[in-house]
């Protein structure tokens, strides 16, 4: 008779004899460390503080592992490497915060090109502020990688950009990127890229850049990132100093990011159509907090909080083809009348500016020195409606252009409280040209409908 306990013991023993063989079996010549079959780099002579010569040895281990579809594990320690080329299928992982790849040469640290899959996880990638050669735009360079994953890494100390990827898709998530002299992440011609849950800080000229060389569909998602202290060491009037910057990249979503202390914009979209900029926290921006500008068609700007900037939200450049937008349910407050540069044509201290085919509705604007809402500029105005907004403590509640050739605008059902120089005033370019229009005195301007506004 076999007891129930004996039977269970027999089954457990059989499992113990079978499972380890399957779980730990590995190709000949490799040592494994866990159930996933990772390769321990130490078993192949790659050890912390082993000197720069071990970089080539690490490359050989990575290449052999990639051919066998296995990851390489780096135990804690500093590994001095440079000019590391990653083959298709390379997977490198370590202990978060403890496994460090430290740039040791004057060429590049790490790159891959034309790969189907590359994965980097749980690593510290440290540029050590060492020189990168002229052909190396970034500490980590990826070109033509179909499925790229960079997850839970720290990427620090780059003399140029921290991570640059081109013609690639995949996931850049949960990383901490800081101390790059140029940009934190520069993505060019992306194909289904997600940039989520990263912390990007203390970068010299920009945080997260999503660019294309020619305008077209991009589809990148930039969501849930924390970005702060972004500088503009190259100066300029907006080319640099933006926490999130889109250029020619259509169909992009920028949602749920927490952004503070950008030299210029928290979010700047240049010639980017069909974009969503939603539910972002934009604090202490040096210039315009949220910008949709130049040749775009389609911009949804909604649910954002802007607190502290030179301008709040600008959806402009109808003269360059910028049109078709909704600016809804945002809070804009505590603006200042000065920006990071001095130009005669510059205007600072405006809550929300729009120009063409745009609805401005349900926004709350408070404590702005110049204009709460600006509709059009010069002759550049067409089919704009401002309705259901609240403007408090502004120089002028709503400035609307009355220059010849301007198109139609409707200003309806808004509340203006505490205006210093009028609720609704017509402007010729930057100069006031009318008395108060907000009490039904706009009949002489056929392009304007101003009705049912409450002035307190």
**C-alpha count within 13 angstroms, C-beta hemisphere, residue 312:** 32
Q: DSSP of 36-83, one letter per residue?
A: T--EEGGGGT--TT--TTHHHHHHHHHHHHHHTT--EEE-SEEEEE-S
Q: In 3-state terms, what secondary structure has residue 158?
A: coil
**Exposure pattern of 202-214 as b/e (b: 16+ CB <10 Å)?**
bbbbbbbbbbbee
Q: Which two tokens stand for residue 110?
A: 């790490």
> CA-based Rg of the chain, rounded to a whole angstrom?
28
| pLDDT for residue 56 | 84
- State the alpha helices, DSSP H only, in 213-334: none
| The token pair that represents 229 in the structure block | 């202290």
- pTM beyond cutoff 0.75: yes
Spatial contact of 294 and 261, defined as CB atoms under 8 Å apart = no
Report how far residue 333's alpha carbon sits from residue 94's, in angstroms, rounded to the nearest whole number: 45
Query: Hunting for tokens 């159509």 — which residue is that?
Result: 273
Residue 207, both tokens:
């945080």
User: What secondary structure letter does DSSP report for 298?
Assistant: E
d(CA 441, CA 424): 10
Compute CA 344 distance to the chain's CA centroid, rounded to the nearest angstrom: 30
pLDDT, one tens digit for every residue, the chain (456 residues): 344 444 444 334 433 343 333 333 333 433 333 435 678 888 888 888 877 677 788 999 999 999 999 999 999 999 999 999 999 999 999 999 999 999 998 789 999 999 999 999 999 999 999 999 999 999 999 999 999 999 999 999 999 999 999 999 999 999 999 999 999 999 999 999 999 999 999 999 999 999 999 999 999 999 999 999 999 999 999 999 999 999 999 999 999 999 999 999 999 999 999 999 999 999 999 999 999 999 999 999 999 999 999 999 999 999 999 999 999 999 999 999 999 999 888 899 999 999 999 999 999 999 999 999 999 999 999 999 999 999 999 999 999 999 999 999 999 999 999 999 999 999 999 999 999 999 877 888 999 999 999 999
Asked if residue 438 lies in contact with residue 450, where contact means CB atoms within 8 angstroms, the answer is yes
pLDDT at residue 244 in the model: 98
Structure tokens at 28: 């000949």
* Domain range annotation of the chain: 204-348, 351-456
Query: Which residue has tokens 């494994």?
Result: 32
Domain 204-348 is of which CATH architecture? 3 Solenoid (2.160)
């Amino acid at each position: 008779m076999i007891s129930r306990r004996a039977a269970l013991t027999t089954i457990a023993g059989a499992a113990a004899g079978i499972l380890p063989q399957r779980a730990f079996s590995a190709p000949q010549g490799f040592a494994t460390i866990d159930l996933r079959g990772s390769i321990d780099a130490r078993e192949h002579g790659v050890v912390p503080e082993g000197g720069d010569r071990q970089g080539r040895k690490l490359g050989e281990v990575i290449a052999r592992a990639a051919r066998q579809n296995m990851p390489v594990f780096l135990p804690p320690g500093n590994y001095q490497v440079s000019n590391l080329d990653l083959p298709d299928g390379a997977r490198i992982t370590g202990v978060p915060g403890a496994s460090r790849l430290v740039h040791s040469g004057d060429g590049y640290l790490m790159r891959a090109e034309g790969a189907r899959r590359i994965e980097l996880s749980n690593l510290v990638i440290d540029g050590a502020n060492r020189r990168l050669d002229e052909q190396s735009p970034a500490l980590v360079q990826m070109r033509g990688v179909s499925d790229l994953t960079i997850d839970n890494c720290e990427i620090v100390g780059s003399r140029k950009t921290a991570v640059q990827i081109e013609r690639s898709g995949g996931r850049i998530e949960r990383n901490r990127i800081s101390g790059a002299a140029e940009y934190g992440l520069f993505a060019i011609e992306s194909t289904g890229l997600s940039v989520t849950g990263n912390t990007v800080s203390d970068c010299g000229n920009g945080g997260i850049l999503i660019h294309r060389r020619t305008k077209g569909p991009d589809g990148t998602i930039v969501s849930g990132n924390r970005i702060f202290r972004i500088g503009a060491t190259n100066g300029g009037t907006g080319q640099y100093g933006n926490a999130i910057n889109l250029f020619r990249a259509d169909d992009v979503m920028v949602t749920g990011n927490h952004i503070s202390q950008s030299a210029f914009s928290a979010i700047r979209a240049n010639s980017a159509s069909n974009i969503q900029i939603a539910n972002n926290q934009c604090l202490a921006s040096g210039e315009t907090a949220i910008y949709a500008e130049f040749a775009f068609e389609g911009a949804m700007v909604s649910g954002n909080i802007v607190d502290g900037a030179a301008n709040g939200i600008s959806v402009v450049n109808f003269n360059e083809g910028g049109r078709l937008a909704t600016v809804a349910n945002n809070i804009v407050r505590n603006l200042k009348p000065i920006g990071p540069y001095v130009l005669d044509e510059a205007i600072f201290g405006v809550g929300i500016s729009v120009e063409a085919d745009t609805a401005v509705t349900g926004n709350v604007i408070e404590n702005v020195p110049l204009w709460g809402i600006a509709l059009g500029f010069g002759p550049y105005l067409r089919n704009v409606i401002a309705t259901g907004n609240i403007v408090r403590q502004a120089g002028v509640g709503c400035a609307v252009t009355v220059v010849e050739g301007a198109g139609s605008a409707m200003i309806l059902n808004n509340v203006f409280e505490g205006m210093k120089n009028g609720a609704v005033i017509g402007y010729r370019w930057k100069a006031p040209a009318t008395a108060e229009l907000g009490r039904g005195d706009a009949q002489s301007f056929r392009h304007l409908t101003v009705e049912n506004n409450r002035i307190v």
